[in-house]
Structure 1
Amino acid sequence: MPEGRVFPVWRGVRTSSGGGGGWSQGWEHCLRWEPQSARQEARISVFDCPVWLVLCRQGRARLREVCQRGRATIRLPTDMLSIKLPQLFDIHQVPKVFREDSIISGYRHPRSSALDCVLSSFQMNNETINIWTHFLPTWYFLWRFCVLCSTLNFLTDSYTWPLLVYMLLICIYPFTSSCAHTFSTMSAESRHICYFFDYGALSLYSLGCAISYGYYVMPDCWVNSLLHQHFVPVAIGNTLFCTSLSCYSRFLELQFPQRSKVLRTAAFVVPFIFDTTPLIYRILGCCGESCSPSDALSNHCYHLLFAFLTCFLFTAHLPERLAPGRFDYFGHSHQLFHVSAVVGTHFQMEGVIADMTSRRAWLVAHGVVPSLLGTMGALAVSLILNLGIIGIFSAPLLWKPCRSSKQHMTACECKEQ
């Protein structure tokens, strides 16, 4: 330790006046006892430490003086790290494109920055629960995926590839939805684009359901049928239909809200009906033959129950429609819709895993062997095509701000001339 340095302190303690020397400090974070006369003997460096400062004569008094001065001058880190949360608004204070049916308060600023959007996820507003009800389940599904990776051989066992596609997509769709709800208030254009990606992720999730159902859940009498052979290609077409129609419905939202809602609902109902038709036939056949229900069918039945509940909550806007303003922050239909969708996905995942395990011997014996083209290849093709559709719908929204800014610059140049 250099000569004269005694005790490390915060910056801000000034030199004291009085006889016998004074305390001073620099940005080196150390106090120094400075003699005021040349006759005063130099301090022994070995004792120049905090312990000697306390034990020496008047050391405790000097330490108490430092602490008293420090309280008045030191700014605590909490002052420096204090963060001002974004302001919230009522429904009449935000543009119409940001308004939700029967939600009166708790709206974020329609021109929020990316940082404000992230901070708003830790602030109670009408989107907070929407963000976390899909962000937290993402980590649950990732954990389940990691557990499966430790027990199954996804690299070389082609029979597990449909499950691999399915697990990837049930991890992606809630995370995409959480990001869409987080950053949807940066601008009107970004709001549309965020939900375009949300719809695209949901349509890809329907493809994951179709691939897993086609290889694991298909009824015995439908295996190797014409529908079974074309099940995945039709599902790819359904994803394009779903993404296109749901993205188009956003352009009708302001002028024709009811028509927009109908189109968006139909965009997701059609792939769901197609994907679950083999499952419903299998459940009805099992009920007619009075077969004993298996764990897989029980989980599939729970999934269908929550799927119908999810559709009801999405279209009914209950309970906030009965009491506008009472469920702005907690308990409105979109939050319940998220919870219902995640719980339904959990039961669907358990049913798919149970079918994959219990039916493996029979399916392999009848020639149901997944191919790379029918699983990962179908996912890659659908991903590229859906990203292209999202790009087509996003281009006019991205071009509009650029064009308006160019017109503004041209007007300013004309004024200067």
Structure 2
Amino acid sequence: MPRLSFAPPSLCLTSLPLLKRLLPSLPPTVRDLDVPPRLREQFILSGYRPVDLSRRCYVLSLFQIHNETLSVWSPLLAAVCVLVRFLVFSVLQGGGILGVGLQGPEGQGVSVDVSSLPLVLYVFSAVTFLSCSAAVRLLRSEQTLHSLFFLEHVGVAMHQYGCALALCLYSSDSAWTQSMLGQIFLPVVAVVVWFSFIICCYADLHLHRRICQVVPRGVAYLLVISPVTHRLASHNWANTSTLPLHFLQVALFLLSAVFSSCPVPECFSPGRYDIIGHSRQLFHILLSICTLVQQEALFEDFLWRRQALVRELGEERLLLACASFLGLALCCVMTALVIKRRTRVQLLKEGR
């Protein structure tokens, strides 16, 4: 006698149509000849995502294996690590985020440690830069190419000035601070970073972008890192644990710049390093590690300079320096909008 089954229908079977609508299947990757020239990387022959995908498919490609996978995950994971590490540092060693605490004999009122504001802005700039970098590589398509690159340039400019602000206030010594460069450092960095931002934005209108972006960003970086290079050249490394970290982050950045400007190792064997190991991935991995190392160095410098910073500079000067960060960010955003509008008009005239 046949047995009757009263088992309810499988949850997987009932939810399968809903999952197909929410999570569409992703098409396989394509060759370089199947994507527009502006989306191709030199000597990378395969692993490209099709150009006609929806934005949701590009987001879901985060979990797909393609030639941008490591370039997306490395800054994304680094952004999470930067944020988590800062929160742990703030609670365990930094005296709370922004140094907020009660004041007065009975605990009335709130005091904010102004000396920690530059560190907060640095962490914000690092997370913004890494997140923008991951978003550009993940959502990169022919329709959103210019908008995403402008977003990345804004993130780079903010991070450059955030580094300059933190290094100037926490990592510099008295000899550098009293020098001519130290007196005009932040205004000069703001101008150089802004000009570098403009050059990189206009360089995206052409196919050969790497050298046009590496040179201005390299000049800006050499200026930003000058407080640290002065300490590395004039101080005994055995007296502090911070200088080896600073040296390591400089070395990592210079090595990442090599991979950013030179298509190695894929130029020696085109097609072999399409998925893992090409220069763009190595650039993002090294730059992500560089950011984590730099953050650790700044944490130690912050603890070293925190007590004397307000006494030496004054709260007004510190607040003005922090306000300059917001001013530069706003200036870069407005500049990007103007360039984007002009770029759209130019592309319409060229029929692109």
TM-score category of the 2 structures, normalised to the smaller one: 0.7 to 0.9
2: CA distance, partners of 1:123 / 1:380? 37
Partner of 2:109: none
Contact persistence 1:203–1:268 (CA under 8 A): no
One of 116, 119, 125 as aligned partner of 1:163? 119
Alignment partner of 2:200: what SS? helix
How many Å apart are 1:397 and its aligned residue?
4.3
Contact persistence 1:86–1:119 (CA under 8 A): no
Larger relative contact order, structure 1 or 2 (CA cutoff 8 Å, min sep 6) = 2
1: CA distance, partners of 2:18 / 2:305? 61
Identity of matched residues, %: 23
Contact persistence 1:177–1:198 (CA under 8 A): yes
- The alpha-carbon distance between structure 1 residues 326 and 95, as it changes in their structure 2 partners (threshold 3 A), is same
- Map Cα deviations across residues 243-269 of structure 1 (whole Å, 9 max, x no partner): 10111111122xxx2xx3222111210
- Tell me which moved more, 263-272 or 77-86: 77-86
Query: Aligned-residue CA RMSD in angstroms?
Result: 2.6
Partner of 2:148: 194
2: CA distance, partners of 1:225 / 1:146? 35
1: CA distance, partners of 2:252 / 2:205? 29
2: CA distance, partners of 1:80 / 1:367? 60
Alignment partner of 1:101: what SS? coil
How many Å apart are 1:379 and its aligned residue?
1.6
One of 82, 90, 93 as aligned partner of 1:141? 82
- Map Cα deviations across residues 376-397 of structure 1 (whole Å, 9 max, x no partner): x112111111011211221144
Aligned counterparts, 1:106-255, within 5 A: 106-150=47-91, 151-154=95-98, 156-185=112-141, 187-188=142-143, 190-253=144-207
Q: State the one-letter code of the partner of 1:179.
A: A
Higher helix share: 2
Give ranges in structure 2 of 5+ residues lacking alignment: 101-111
State whether structure 2 residue 270 is matched by structure 1 residue 324. Answer: yes
* Count of residue pairs brought into register by the alignment: 331
TM-score (norm 1): 0.73
Aligned counterparts, 1:17-416, within 5 A: 61=3, 64-67=4-7, 75-78=13-16, 80-82=18-20, 83-150=24-91, 151-154=95-98, 156-185=112-141, 187-188=142-143, 190-253=144-207, 257=208, 260-286=209-235, 290=236, 292-361=238-307, 363-364=309-310, 366-367=312-313, 370-375=317-322, 377-399=323-345
Q: State the one-letter code of the partner of 1:285.
A: S
- Map Cα deviations across residues 353-406 of structure 1 (whole Å, 9 max, x no partner): 11111234455554465521211x11211111101121122114445788899x
Alignment partner of 2:67: what SS? coil
- The alpha-carbon distance between structure 1 residues 269 and 390, as it changes in their structure 2 partners (threshold 3 A), is same
- The alpha-carbon distance between structure 1 residues 321 and 79, as it changes in their structure 2 partners (threshold 3 A), is same
TM-score (norm 2): 0.86
Query: Highest CA radius of gyration, 1 or 2?
Result: 1
